[in-house]
Structure 1
């Protein structure tokens, strides 16, 4: 009960100090408000940007290794012209990998081509990406179906003319009718729509997204376009298992099988590339760490100024209430009661400043954005309030100790 009374008493003193010197308090808390606003706004933008980038890259899958002709990054002393001599991955190699892999959770081969025009009656959708996939592609990468269904094995094995389209394409081609069961035309072929994917929104850095994409069976794609050594190159994608940390076992197995399939001798260099999404996500993660550090530095200076402002308020408050402190002590108030009273006031004031900064960040997230969705996470709110509380404690500890150690007789005599 005494602790509740202590908190209530401390809250009352803090509120009185805030009301009696409103302008001084606001100016002093401005530093904390700006600092918390700077830190939390940077973290909010970084988190939202990172989430948007990772969502935009979801089409390449997670824990996946891609067997391709070209590496995603060039390094070492490998002559660039040797890359041109590498063969493209093909269906035969995929079937051999599919049959012999033991450390995978699914494998698929796909091929894609951009700048396609889909037509339906008088409606058309240009600059679309068309992808041909084998049946297990949905195990390698996420294909979010909103209406309709995914392919069945018979459709993929028979190379049937069926297609799953993106939401933006569906809206453009079928503005007033249900797309499922309707026909669209692309590259001279008629395709039946069997599914429409969920809306993904505009992707970051120009990455392709499902909204403007059509997905068809690999065999149907091969009938429409030239796929092979002299045409469009395919990519073999292999999903790793959760227990395979770092996909090391899967990578060793794929490399060994591919070298055996292509008849490479022990001293021959690999004539294929094993690419991973982690190459991109690690680079992105490093960039976000730098931005987050910059946010801490910028916000830290503002919070430092705000901390001195709160300390100044507390020193003035101790001086103004020295007589009251003496009366409280003469009536039996313990040192810890006085200490907690001023420390609570300091933390309370700092939390107000931090809360205002977080509120400003939240108001910014309400502004509609076409490029990405910005949201304030619970973790960032807790971080902002936690930093504010720590600043309040550090700023108020010295004034609180001085107040608790005042001699009651001398304090009562002060004016």
Structure 2
């Protein structure tokens, strides 16, 4: 009961301080408002950035490793492209070797893609289409939801039939009436029957592969179109591990060992292939966003310190104005800790008012959201903002509260 009474009394005094001199109080709390806004806004924008990137990278799937001759690079150190250029491309024999011997590989597929293709259906044309040729297991590794029709069968993949699953943008351009299933389209002089249409993927925050502009065909059909005509093929393998393989350590070690055996590399020879993990991109981005959070926190800290001094000033003024009241409370038996807690709670409420203003401004940032960059104040950041506000209130009010608690009741009543 004492705590509840103290709580409401402190809240009443805080509201009274706001009403007594609104301009002075608002200007004093502005530092806390700006500081909380700076810190939580940075946290919120960084979270939105991370969510946008992770959503964009979800197209690659989880526990996925890309096997090729080119490693992912993020601008760190030297990138000897000439060294990687001379590496051999993964091939179908390596795919079969891994399928036969791997224990930690759940699925593995071979694929290749060519951009800048023109796809035709009668008088309708889709420019800059992407043709992907892949083996059957590719669908088990990457998310490729189909809105109409179906995916290839294992037999169709093995036989290299002239059938295709097309992206939503391709279907919309070639078949504006929505009657694309079963129709014959032409790409690179080769005819394909449309057996399925992918769900629309839409835009992503960062440029990632999209199924919207794709023509997906069996890998053997792709080879017929390009390799059989002497055109350059740069194949890659894509493997998916098991969820129980934490940090993908087992599958990475197994793939590295099997590829070295298959390629006949000696123990002292360097790998002539790259095992790329999509989560390496996330780790790189997290390093950058982590630095942004630290920078934003430091900037906001200076604003909060200014606000903290302002609240301390308000509290000293409040102690001065209520000196006689403190003396009466003590004369009637109020303990020192009661006076101390009363002013500490009042300081916390004042800081909360400033913090809530900052959080309100952060919530307004959601008005700037786009389809690929969604800004929202989540519960975690809301709690962080409230905790920081409360902590600043305690730190700012401790000195005025101690001075009030130590007052002699007789001297305090005389001050009236």
SS at match of 1:89: coil
Asked whether the 8 Å contact 1:31–1:305 carries over to 2, the reply is yes
SS at match of 1:252: helix
SS at match of 1:275: strand
SS at match of 1:375: coil
Q: Which runs of 5+ in 1 are unaligned?
A: none
State the Cα deviation string for residues 89-132 of structure 1 (Å, max 9, x = none): 11121111112100122212121122223344554432233322
Asked whether the 8 Å contact 2:198–2:212 carries over to 1, the reply is no
Q: Tell me by how many angstroms 1:42 deviates.
A: 1.2
CA distance in 2, matches of 1:278, 1:161: 35
Q: Tell me by how many angstroms 1:192 deviates.
A: 0.8
C-alpha distance 383-124 of structure 1, shift in aligned 2 (>3 A): farther
The residue that corresponds to 2:9 in the other structure is 9
State the Cα deviation string for residues 143-197 of structure 1 (Å, max 9, x = none): 3445555444333333334444444444444444265555544333334141322
Q: Tell me by how many angstroms 1:319 deviates.
A: 0.9
Deviates more, 1:367-376 or 1:170-179: 170-179
Q: Tell me by how many angstroms 1:345 deviates.
A: 1.4
Match of 1:202 among 201, 204, 209: 204
Question: Is 1:385 aligned to 2:386, yes or no?
Answer: yes
The residue that corresponds to 1:245 in the other structure is 246
Q: Tell me by how many angstroms 1:267 deviates.
A: 3.6
Question: Is 1:60 aligned to 2:60, yes or no?
Answer: yes
Asked whether the 8 Å contact 2:144–2:198 carries over to 1, the reply is no
C-alpha distance 107-228 of structure 1, shift in aligned 2 (>3 A): farther
The residue that corresponds to 1:30 in the other structure is 30
CA distance in 2, matches of 1:198, 1:241: 28
The residue that corresponds to 1:402 in the other structure is 403
Q: Which runs of 5+ in 2 are unaligned?
A: none
What's the Cα RMSD here?
2.7
The residue that corresponds to 1:299 in the other structure is 300
CA distance in 2, matches of 1:76, 1:377: 37
The residue that corresponds to 2:192 in the other structure is 190
The residue that corresponds to 1:308 in the other structure is 309
For this pair of structures, how many residues does the alignment match? 414
Question: Is 1:320 aligned to 2:342, yes or no?
Answer: no
SS at match of 1:210: coil
State the Cα deviation string for residues 23-82 of structure 1 (Å, max 9, x = none): 111101111111111111111111111221222222333322222122224999997544
CA distance in 1, matches of 2:229, 2:82: 20
Asked whether the 8 Å contact 2:146–2:196 carries over to 1, the reply is no
SS at match of 1:54: helix
The residue that corresponds to 1:19 in the other structure is 19
The residue that corresponds to 1:231 in the other structure is 232
The residue that corresponds to 1:258 in the other structure is 259
Asked whether the 8 Å contact 1:165–1:197 carries over to 2, the reply is no
CA distance in 2, matches of 1:227, 1:347: 76
Report the TM-score, using the length of structure 1 for normalisation.
0.90
After TM superposition, the structure 1 = structure 2 runs for residues 139-150 of structure 1, keeping only pairs within 5 Å, are 139-146=140-147, 148-150=149-151
State the Cα deviation string for residues 342-390 of structure 1 (Å, max 9, x = none): 1111111111111111111111112342552222221111111111111
Asked whether the 8 Å contact 2:169–2:213 carries over to 1, the reply is yes
After TM superposition, the structure 1 = structure 2 runs for residues 137-176 of structure 1, keeping only pairs within 5 Å, are 137-146=138-147, 148-176=149-177
Asked whether the 8 Å contact 2:168–2:213 carries over to 1, the reply is yes
CA distance in 1, matches of 2:311, 2:149: 60
Asked whether the 8 Å contact 1:128–1:212 carries over to 2, the reply is yes
Deviates more, 1:260-269 or 1:109-118: 260-269
SS at match of 2:386: helix
CA distance in 2, matches of 1:396, 1:78: 56
Asked whether the 8 Å contact 1:120–1:185 carries over to 2, the reply is yes
After TM superposition, the structure 1 = structure 2 runs for residues 68-87 of structure 1, keeping only pairs within 5 Å, are 68-73=68-73, 80-87=81-88
CA distance in 2, matches of 1:213, 1:207: 13
